[in-house]
């Protein structure tokens, strides 16, 4: 039968006749056939399939083979043995070469027919070895595609374990040799199809054998980073990118960019070839990986590579925009390369000559996606022309070509430029890669900017410099509670004891960020401070309630029997989740925030018709100080609307202090007090006095008197009745411009006194006379003395005099409030650099306290005591005032350059020594840099206790508390890790030193430049200029 079939297919008979005979032969397979006839037919079919002269012969071979193998399986097993397969793969078949794809098709067909036979297992083991050899021989794409199809159907043929890793690596290497010689579209499509089949096989192996993925990717990088001039890897490697999990981007890029064995030349080659992959059709995520590598290199400050690659490949990337199938990914990469190349216009000017032609092509190509793409492209071009303005001869044709398309606003352009700069820290690859220098000579630790987090960094540093607050936070036993206070304690511990030059407060940022604050966006530091203090306060209140309930359940009478000064603990020796080392006698259950920053304001409204007085006390944590209208009319931008906050509203209260008095019955009004305009500039005491000055409520702002049951003219007064240990003052520098509908910044310079006294109206029991032996700081109010003198005069008919007497009588009935002049010393200042509330940069100054007890040196009190001795303090007790400069004996203590080290400048990761003179003169030198938030610390005179009984182990916190074991372990672990990183960096630098040809660093060596460098609107404090557009880092 084999002879008949062989003669038939090679005869000249018509095709229908041949098909009829073949059909008879196939039907005969169901009948009994001898083994010799089967073997002869199997041999014939193999010859027809492998050596057939035309497609008909090959088709006949497959039909007959399938028929007889189905009905005569045992005979087929004997024919298609492992030796026969091995011969095909190693020697070929007759004149047919072993690398011919037809052999792989034949084996694939036979495996399908033999799959249920036991002998197939031996064949699988043979194929596992042979396919590994085949890929090592760098087979052609056609053979590899057929091989991949077979292995996808018969995964048992894929090498296992270590051989699987080697197989994947060699298959990757083989793909790198896939050269495309196609000149026709049909041939090109076939080439892409073949490559896709091979890459799909690798994807399936990576899924089933995850251990093969990383070695495969290492092989990819070894190939594309090769500097061998005789070898150029195929662009077909791009087909693998879409199968690499995106979750691995961060890990892989960090590994590559920090590997000391990867030379700059190799990294440059790898990046260039990855950019070439943008030309591969249908490949996904190539742009994502290219940008990830660009950001990773920027994070480790390998700017030489970035510059070389950008200038070398920018035109090639631009040319990819002409091809719709790859243009979207190419635009993403082009945008990143151009926007990040902010130190020079060279890259942009390389593509400028091609812009107009591309715009014209996009307008006329008729594709539905071209319009949207054109809008994205023109936005990029507008940004670049804004960045590098001043070339009308180059840009005129471009502007003409895109004049009818939307143009982004200036703020959006600045934002885009800011987010894309190499020195921006908003990318995720800066983590752990920034190579900070050692600690500065200050010994203080900076804070890494996590992406527009200068507002948080400046607040954290000011709170850390509040010595008493810091020490009490570090002394708390939080017992693992997952609260913000716990994270603040850990952050303070790191700032105090880490060996790093700058610490990255990521965990604290995520925990303390207000929900409405968008990560990566500029925010208001004052708003953040209020939210943080309120959050800490509410957390402690909640824990106190829970602990109180727990104690009542354990022993209802236990707490009542204890002395207020005794230590308290729960039954079984457990501590409260939020307790200091010991209890704090006399704190009346107040939280740490209340004890440190809490004060009280008393607001009184007197009806000028019936003289009835309404009073209300409100707690506060900061005072928001507005600029009086007459003061802001010069120096700063004109303001045509009301100030940012009504003067009668207390900002940032711990509990209820931010509410408006009488729920809307009081409206903003004219103010009687006006600071002295003949002594410019304004000072902080001027703003405090303006805040506390009486206000007349009349006309539209008339007060509804409940006694009169009508709107009446009234006088509102505000008095501080409880002074906080730390006085926080916020200068309301942003006012609403009704014409332009924007918030403008008031740039007025405000003098900041180092020493200040605040009038505090301490309450006393009604109708009790004051002792003549009282402290010289506690005397009757001058206003009260004046009213008493008026009362002793003969009666007059003048209405105003009668009104004053009636007012005095009302006050006498309620009891007098003596005035205490409480001294404060400046602790910290947060500066805002910029001209608007939506942009700029925050940095802070902190008073460097060297004493072990954390208190100010007695020299700070010389001025106050001298004023008291001269009798100068008494007439001004009712107003806030600055104390005179320290006398000569205090200045003598500061000799020898000590004064220059009394203050520290905290600018994100940078901490430097400065002087108070620099703090006072910063706005004169850099008009956009103005004081925004100030913290003053209350001072104690002899015999007074500033902490109000805050103790630890029965003693005042006169020194830094010892670190708890949990904090100490965390710091020790991180410091050990830091030393290991330093050792690795040293080795890396030593290895790379010979190959380093350029030490270029755009915009300086630190991502966080001096004051004013953190935004397009930043000022110039500390070295930044007024027009440093390229410095766009928060």
Catalytic residues, by residue number, are: 454, 841
Question: What's the token pair of residue 586?
Answer: 């006399």
Helix (H) / strand (E) element for 905: namely strand 903-907
DSSP H helical ranges for 320-445: 327-340, 346-364, 370-387, 392-401, 410-420
Report the distance separating Cα 675 and Cα 626, nearest Å: 12
Of the chain, the end-to-end C-alpha distance in Å amounts to: 87
Question: What's the token pair of residue 284?
Answer: 């996904």
Give the side-chain half-sphere CA count within 13 A for 712.
19
Report the distance separating Cα 644 and Cα 641, nearest Å: 9
Residue 819, strand partner residues: 761, 779
Instruction: Give 631-647 as a 3 state SS string.
Output: CCCCCCCCCCCCCCCCC
Q: How far is CA 393 from the centre of its chain?
A: 40
Residue with tokens 């699988």: 124
Cβ 76 vs Cβ 66: under 8 Å: no
Identify the DSSP state of 80: S
Question: What's the token pair of residue 753?
Answer: 């006194």
Report the distance separating Cα 544 and Cα 248, nearest Å: 45
DSSP-derived 3-state class of residue 535:
helix
DSSP-derived 3-state class of residue 747:
coil
Residue 517, strand partner residues: none
For the chain, helix (H) and strand (E) counts, in that order, are 34, 24
Cβ 235 vs Cβ 282: under 8 Å: no
Residue 744, strand partner residues: 735, 836
DSSP-derived 3-state class of residue 616:
strand
Q: Which of 298, 315, 317, 237 is nearest to 270 (CA)?
A: 237
Total residues belonging to the chain: 1034
Q: Which of 963, 933, 958 is nearest to 846 (CA)?
A: 933
Question: What's the token pair of residue 143?
Answer: 């053979």
Report the distance separating Cα 823 and Cα 941, nearest Å: 9
């Amino acid at each position: 039968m084999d002879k008949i079939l062989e003669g038939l297919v090679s005869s000249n008979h018509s095709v229908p006749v041949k098909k009829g005979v073949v059909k008879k032969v196939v039907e005969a397979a169901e009948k009994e056939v001898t083994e010799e006839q089967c073997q002869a037919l199997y041999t014939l079919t193999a010859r027809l399939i492998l050596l057939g002269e035309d497609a008909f012969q090959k088709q006949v071979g497959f039909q007959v083979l399938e028929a007889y193998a189905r009905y005569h399986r045992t005979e087929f097993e004997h024919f298609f043995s492992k030796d026969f397969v091995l011969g095909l793969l190693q020697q070929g078949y007759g004149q047919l070469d072993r690398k011919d794809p037809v052999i792989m098709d034949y084996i694939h067909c036979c495996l399908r027919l033999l799959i249920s036979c036991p002998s197939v297992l031996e064949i699988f083991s043979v194929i596992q070895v042979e396919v590994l050899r085949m890929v090592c021989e760098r087979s052609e794409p056609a053979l590899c595609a057929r091989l991949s199809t077979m292995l996808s159907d018969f995964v048992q043929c894929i090498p296992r374990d270590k051989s699987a890793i080697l197989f994947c690596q060699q298959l990757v290497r083989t793909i790198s040799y896939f050269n495309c010689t196609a000149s026709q579209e049909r041939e090109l499509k076939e080439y892409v199809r073949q490559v896709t089949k091979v890459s799909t096989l690798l994807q399936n192996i990576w899924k089933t054998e995850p251990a093969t993925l990383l070695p495969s990717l290492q092989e990819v990088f070894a190939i594309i980073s090769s500097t061998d001039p005789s070898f150029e890897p195929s662009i077909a490697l791009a087909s693998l990118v879409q199968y690499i999990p995106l979750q691995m981007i961060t890990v892989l890029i960090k590994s590559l960019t920090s590997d000391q064995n990867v030379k700059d030349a190799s990294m440059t080659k790898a990046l260039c070839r990855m950019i070439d992959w943008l030309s591969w059709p249908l490949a996904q995520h190539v742009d994502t990986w290219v940008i990830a590598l660009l950001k990773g290199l920027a994070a480790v400050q390998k700017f030489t590579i970035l510059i070389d690659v950008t200038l070398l490949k920018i035109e090639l990337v631009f040319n990819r925009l002409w091809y719709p199938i790859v243009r979207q990914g190419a635009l993403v990469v082009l945008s990143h390369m151009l926007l990040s190349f902010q130190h020079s216009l060279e890259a942009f000017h390389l593509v400028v000559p091609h812009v107009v032609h591309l715009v014209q092509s996009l307008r006329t190509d008729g594709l539905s996606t071209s319009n949207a793409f054109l809008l994205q492209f023109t936005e990029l071009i507008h940004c670049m022309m804004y960045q590098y303005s001043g070339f009308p001869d180059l840009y005129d044709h471009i502007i003409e070509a895109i004049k009818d398309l939307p143009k982004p606003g200036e703020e959006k352009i600045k934002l885009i430029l800011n987010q894309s700069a190499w020195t921006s820290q908003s990318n995720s690859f800066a983590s752990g890669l920034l190579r900070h220098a050692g600690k500065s000579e200050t010994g203080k630790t900076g804070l890494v900017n996590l992406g527009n987090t200068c507002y948080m960094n400046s607040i954290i540093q000011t709170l850390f410099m509040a010595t008493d607050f810091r020490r009490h936070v570090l002394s708390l036993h939080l017992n693992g509670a997952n609260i913000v206070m716990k994270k603040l304690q850990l952050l303070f511990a790191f700032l105090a004891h880490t060996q790093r030059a700058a610490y990255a407060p990521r965990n604290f940022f995520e925990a303390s960020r207000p929900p409405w604050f968008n990560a990566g966006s500029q925010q208001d530091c004052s708003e953040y401070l209020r939210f943080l203090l309120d959050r800490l306060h509410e957390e402690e209140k909640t824990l106190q309630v829970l602990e109180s309930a727990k104690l009542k359940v354990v022993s209802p009478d236990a707490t009542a029997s204890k002395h207020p000064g005794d230590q308290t603990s729960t039954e079984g020796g457990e501590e409260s989740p939020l307790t200091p080392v010991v209890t704090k006698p006399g704190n009346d259950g107040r939280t740490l925030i209340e004890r440190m920053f809490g004060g009280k304001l008393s607001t009184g409204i007197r009806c000028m018709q019936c003289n009835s007085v309404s009073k209300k006390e409100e707690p506060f944590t900061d005072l928001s100080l507005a600029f009086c209208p007459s003061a802001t009319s010069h120096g700063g931008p004109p303001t045509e609307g009301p100030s940012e906050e009504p003067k009668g509203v207390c900002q940032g209260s711990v509990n209820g202090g931010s509410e408006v008095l009488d729920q809307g019955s009081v409206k903003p009004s004219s103010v009687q007090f006006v600071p002295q305009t003949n002594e410019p500039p304004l000072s902080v005491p001027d703003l405090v006095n303006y805040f506390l000055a009486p206000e007349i409520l009349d006309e539209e702002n008339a007060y509804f008197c409940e006694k009169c049951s009508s709107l009446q003219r009234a006088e509102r007064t505000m008095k501080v009745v409880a002074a906080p240990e730390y006085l926080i003052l916020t200068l309301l520098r942003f006012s609403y411009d009704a014409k332009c509908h924007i918030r403008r910044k008031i740039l007025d310079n405000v003098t900041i006194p180092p020493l200040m006294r605040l009038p505090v109206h301490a309450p006393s029991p009604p109708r009790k006379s004051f002792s003549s032996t009282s402290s010289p700081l506690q005397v009757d109010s001058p206003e009260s003395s004046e009213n008493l003198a008026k009362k002793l005069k003969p009666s007059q008919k003048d209405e105003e005099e009668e009104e004053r007497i009636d007012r005095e009588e009302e006050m006498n009935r309620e009891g007098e409030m003596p005035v205490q002049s409480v001294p404060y010393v400046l602790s910290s200042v947060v500066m805002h650099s910029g001209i608007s509330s939506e942009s700029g940069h925050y940095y802070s100054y902190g008073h460097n306290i060297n004493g072990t007890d954390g208190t100010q040196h007695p020299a700070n009190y010389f001025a106050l005591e001298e004023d008291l001795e001269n009798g100068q303090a008494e007439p001004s007790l009712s107003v806030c005032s600055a104390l005179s400069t320290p006398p000569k004996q205090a200045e003598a203590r500061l000799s020898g350059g000590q004064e220059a080290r009394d203050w520290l400048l905290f600018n994100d990761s940078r901490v430097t020594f400065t002087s108070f003179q620099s703090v006072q003169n910063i706005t004169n030198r850099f008009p956009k840099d103005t004081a925004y938030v100030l913290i003053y610390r209350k001072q104690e005179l002899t015999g007074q206790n500033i902490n109000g009984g805050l103790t630890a182990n029965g003693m005042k916190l006169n020194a830094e508390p010892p670190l708890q074991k949990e904090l100490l372990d965390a710091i020790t672990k991180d410091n050990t890790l830091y030393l290991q990183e330093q050792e690795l960096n040293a080795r890396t630098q030593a290895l790379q030193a010979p190959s380093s040809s350029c030490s270029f660093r755009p915009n300086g060596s630190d991502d966080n430049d001096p004051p004013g460098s953190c935004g397009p609107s930043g000022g110039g404090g500390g070295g930044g200029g007024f027009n440093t557009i390229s410095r766009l880092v928060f």
